[in-house]
């Protein structure tokens, strides 16, 4: 379901000077105990970013996932990119969350970084289901303009690709725009806030149980701590 979006993401990262970094084999690809599901991950090194990770889970008709998080370098205080796309094929159910995840909830910060996301949110009312976020605290690391859709095939096939393109373009332009403006946060603050994001996300990630079921508890814990949220281990 999400392969065209994954390809678009890869191309876009290359256009922005991204190169793939090496990853331990256990994180590159893992096959589930029953042999029916596979999870693949990629790590990118992109100018302006400390870490850009991408994960694709293919559990057939049961579940398809495309997940990506990009952390700017500590001297850039722009939001973290967060993408979590899930397609439950049997139920034909889409859960899509895309956000510029803010390091702080502050008006000056929002004014500086969120105009692009606000415009996308206005154009796509289908991605306006923000009342239903209940696994996370929406005030922590989610923006008031988070694109959130619980939908079906039409949303997945017709609307999501458009939203995805606009979202990615708009997020990547923050880095270009950033060159000419001053930071609101110092790099030590950015580092602490990105680490807090990892800790918070590692505790809340609804995928933990799902991964354990598919790939075993040991692998899942390693994957969560060492690949998905490596700064969650500090401090």
Rounded CA Rg of the chain: 17
**Shortest reach from residue 80's CB to ligand BLA, in Å:** 8
Q: Which is nearer to ligand BLA, 83 or 185 (CB)?
A: 83
Q: Does 82 bind ligand BLA (CB under 6 A)?
A: yes
Q: Does 55 bind ligand BLA (CB under 6 A)?
A: yes
CB of 138 closer than 8 Å to CB of 146: yes
Tokens representing 125 are: 């009312």
**Shortest reach from residue 209's CB to ligand BLA, in Å:** 8
Tell me how crowded residue 75 is: count the other CB atoms within 10 A of its CB. 14
Q: Does 48 bind ligand BLA (CB under 6 A)?
A: no
CB of 94 closer than 8 Å to CB of 87: yes
Q: Does 84 bind ligand BLA (CB under 6 A)?
A: yes
Residue in 46, 70, 94, 95 binding ligand BLA, rule: CB under 6 A: 95
- 47 to 31, 70, 115, 157, 172: CA distances (angstroms): 32, 11, 23, 31, 11
Stretch that binds ligand BLA, among 15-23, 104-112, 133-141, 192-200 (CB under 6 A): 133-141
**Shortest reach from residue 39's CB to ligand BLA, in Å:** 8
Q: Does 126 bind ligand BLA (CB under 6 A)?
A: no
Long-range contacts at 169-173 (CB < 8 A, ≥ 24 apart): 169/12, 170/116, 170/117, 170/119, 170/120, 171/70, 171/81, 171/100, 171/116, 172/12, 172/16, 173/116
Q: Does 66 bind ligand BLA (CB under 6 A)?
A: no
Nearest C-alpha neighbor of 25 from the set 39, 13, 11: 39
Stretch that binds ligand BLA, among 44-52, 90-98, 153-161, 185-193 (CB under 6 A): 90-98
Tell me how crowded residue 127 is: count the other CB atoms within 10 A of its CB. 24
Q: Does 65 bind ligand BLA (CB under 6 A)?
A: yes
Q: Name the site residues for ligand BLA (rule: CB under 6 A).
A: 55, 57, 65, 67, 69, 82-84, 86, 95, 97-99, 132-136, 205-207, 210, 228
């Amino acid at each position: 379901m999400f392969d065209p979006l994954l390809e678009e993401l890869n191309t876009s990262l290359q256009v922005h000077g991204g190169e793939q970094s090496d990853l331990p084999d256990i994180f590159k690809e893992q096959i589930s105990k029953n042999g029916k599901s596979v999870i693949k991950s990629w790590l990118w090194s992109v100018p302006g970013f400390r870490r850009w990770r991408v994960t694709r889970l293919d559990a057939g008709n049961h579940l398809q996932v495309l997940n990506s998080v990009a952390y700017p370098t500590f001297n850039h205080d722009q939001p973290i990119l967060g993408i979590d796309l899930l397609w439950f094929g049997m139920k034909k159910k889409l859960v899509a969350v895309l956000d510029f995840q803010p390091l702080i909830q502050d008006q000056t910060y929002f004014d500086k970084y969120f105009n692009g996301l606000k415009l996308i949110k206005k154009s796509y009312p289908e991605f306006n289901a923000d009342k239903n976020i209940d696994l996370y605290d929406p005030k922590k690391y989610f923006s008031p303009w988070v694109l959130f859709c619980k939908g079906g095939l039409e949303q997945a096939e017709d609307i999501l690709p458009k939203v995805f393109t606009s979202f990615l373009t708009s997020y990547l332009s923050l880095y270009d725009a950033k060159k000419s403006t001053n930071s609101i946060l110092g790099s030590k603050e950015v580092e602490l806030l990105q680490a807090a994001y990892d800790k918070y996300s590692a505790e809340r990630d609804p995928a933990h149980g799902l991964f354990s079921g598919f790939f075993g508890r040991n692998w899942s814990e390693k994957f969560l701590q060492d690949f998905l949220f490596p700064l969650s281990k500090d401090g």
